[in-house]
Amino acid sequence: MPLPKLDTRHAFFTGKGGVGKTSLSCATGLALAEAGKRVLIVSTDPASNLDEVLGVALNQSPTEVPDAPNLWALNIDPEASAHAYRERMVGPYRGILPDAAIRSMEEQFSGACTVEIAAFDEFSKLLGDPAATQEFDHVIFDTAPTGHTLRLLTLPSAWDEFISSSTGGASCLGPLAGLEKQKALYAASVERLSNPKETTVVLVSRPERASLREAERTRAELGDLGVSNLQLVINGVFVAKEPGDAIADAMTKRAVESLSDMPAGLVSLTGSTISFLPKGTVGLEALRAMADPDELPLPLEQSLPSIDSLPGGLKQYVDELAAVGHGVIMTMGKGGVGKTSVAAAIAFNLAERGFPVILSTTDPAAHVAAAAEEGMPGLTVTKIDPAHEVHEYTEEVLAKAGKSLDAAGLAMLEEDLRSPCTEEIAVFRAFARTVDEGKGGFVVLDTAPTGHTILLLDAAEAYHREVERTQGDMPDSVKELLPRLRDKGFTHVFVVTLPEATPVHEAERLQNDLRRAGIEPYAWVINQSLLASGTRNPILMERGAYELPYIETVSQRLSSRCALIPWMEQQPVGKNGLAALVR
């Protein structure tokens, strides 16, 4: 059976968005339930599609899954939990502080770190308290906490007076001030998570280099924290049964090359492989197919929609940008959706048209470097090293704030500065410098800041408290950039996604976040569509039909401006590969 073998009562599935951790956790839970075990599946993902996969409406109490005896599931709403924490922290100050200060405090507690710690609090009630799930043989958690959250919660100083008095700290610190009563429960949860006899952590990846790199990073981070019972699942491995179809052959080749170059740390793990399933993994029959794909063949769709009815390509929007002649272009989206490739393709195309273009990226991947190496006149590629930017920012903060802290306070601040929030702010400062350098042409930003970071940096009260805590400074380039990001005539945001459930749900959350920051996306880009690829491979054609509802959701409900990029035989590397994306 290709599904992971669970010898422990608890299991966590973790991986980048869209790798299939929800469907895999459901398939594993269903297999255990059909083997006679009583199983509870728990999701803490704000973009969870657990209801859709299992075919049942869920809430925060265990709900039995129809037609699946012994299987229950529940959805924790971390957004609601984070809202409760915000209110707990901010509520006492309402009517006392000015409205502007209240809004700033609320933004301090609106980041991803706050949501993740709020989710950790919720599933700690299930993981740390055995009585809460005593009627189940297995409890499976879809979406595990990051190493940053675990480190933060295991720091003794997270529970002392330092936190209680640091309400002006970064968003990832705030919730802990209101959770001191949870200390024993948190400690039990972290201990159980790292106990190999009680908990298995399953790393889920696609057979793609970027996804495997993320899995290796997670493996190393968890290993440093003493989490040793790890397994690896490679999900969605496609191997063409018969050669001859260009798309199918290219997909097979990419998977083989990625897996042959897998990081050594992952190779050493107990692993399993799940075959590519053309109809997705929604419904119990599809989940059973993950355990044995050959046992439940899925019928081929006989009629596919006309390609003429699909959204057009990216070129129409690049033409519009060229007519403007200058400004900032940002590609935004979750990891693995191809935003770096889209940014590079737009920059390359505009440079070909004779515009001066600066492409600023945090991704050192070859397809970006190749564009510059081919000597495109007018194109300048600047590579931002997140590790370097974080180091510089951290040194600056510690030099100014560290002198006044004791050992416990310094340890807490150092952990705060290792958070994803810190990296985003540090990289954002570097982006701001790049934009400030662009005069009279285009600046294309890959991996742009989230709406939360923009609001956080733009809140005068939040910045005032940050200065008090760190004695840091906000560069003029950052101050000048923020108003520009809200200028529709100057800044154009492309939201990049894939034609699948989780990436679309996550991109919708991103769009809502941007709108909260006063930024309206210019257009959406649906990347790597098999439906638009022209493949005649039966399995891939079936997958293309599966994409249609998600393409319609984006093009008809989420945005009236939508570009569709097909899955291409040629990878987006160099002049020809990037040019193919702008059609």
Q: Is 394 a catalytic residue?
A: no
What does the pLDDT look like over 37-59, one tens digit per residue? 999 998 877 656 788 888 888 88
The chain-wide mean pLDDT, for the chain, equals 78
Judge whether 487 counts as a catalytic residue.
no
Of 14, 22, 114, 362, which one is the catalytic site residue?
Answer: 22
Q: Looking at per-residue confidence, does 396 or 253 come out higher?
A: 253
Selection from 316, 363, 255 nearest residue 371 by Cα: 363
Q: Return the residue matching tokens 């002006």.
A: 168
pLDDT for the residue 531: 93
pLDDT over 90 (residue 313): yes
Residue type at position 165? S
Q: Assess whether 43 carries a catalytic annotation.
A: no
Dihedral sign (CA 346, 352, 353, 356): positive
**Which of 23, 114, 189, 331 is flagged as catalytic?**
23
- Residue 173 pLDDT: 41
Residue 24 vs residue 45, higher pLDDT: 24
> Coil, strand or helix: which one is 328?
strand
Tell me the torsion sign for CA atoms 429, 431, 434, 438: negative
CA 120 – CA 546 distance, rounded (Å): 33
193 touches 245 (CB < 8 A): no
Query: Whats the size of the chain, residue-wise?
Result: 583
User: Three-class SS of residue 225?
Assistant: coil
The answer to whether residues 42 and 73 touch, using CB atoms and an 8 Å cutoff, is yes
362 within 8 A of 384, measured Cβ to Cβ = yes
Residue 40's pLDDT is 95
242: exposed, middle or buried (Cβ count in 10 Å: 0-12, 13-18, 19+): exposed
Decide if pLDDT at 459 tops 60.
no
Return the closest-CA partner of residue 201 out of 137, 269, 291: 269
Confidence of residue 218 (pLDDT cuts 50, 70, 90): confident
Confidence of residue 108 (pLDDT cuts 50, 70, 90): low
DSSP 534: T
Closest to 317 (Cα-Cα) out of 534, 518, 529, 521: 521
Task: Please confirm, yes or no, whether 45 is among the known catalytic residues.
Answer: yes
Indicate if 128 belongs to the active site: no
Token digits for 383?
Answer: 């590579």
Please indicate whether residue 23 is annotated as part of the active site.
yes
Which among 15, 16, 17, 20 is annotated as catalytic?
Answer: 20
DSSP 402: G
CA angle in degrees (0–180, nearest 5) for 88-91-95: 170
Q: Which residue in 331, 380, 450, 502 is the catalytic one?
A: 502
User: What pLDDT digit, counting tens, does each position of 140-155 carry?
Assistant: 988 755 554 555 555 4
Check residue 521 and give its pLDDT.
93
Please identify which of the residues 28, 45, 189, 258 carries the catalytic annotation: 45
User: 397 with 404: CB under 8 angstroms?
Assistant: no
| Residue from 14, 15, 17, 18 carrying the catalytic annotation | 18
List, in order, residues 6 or more apart from 217 with CB less than 8 Å away: none
- The per-residue pLDDT for range 492-549, each reduced to its tens digit, is 999 999 998 878 988 898 898 888 778 899 999 999 999 999 999 988 998 898 899 9
Catalytic residue among 15, 16, 17, 21: 21
* 165 labelled catalytic: no
Average pLDDT of 243-264? 92
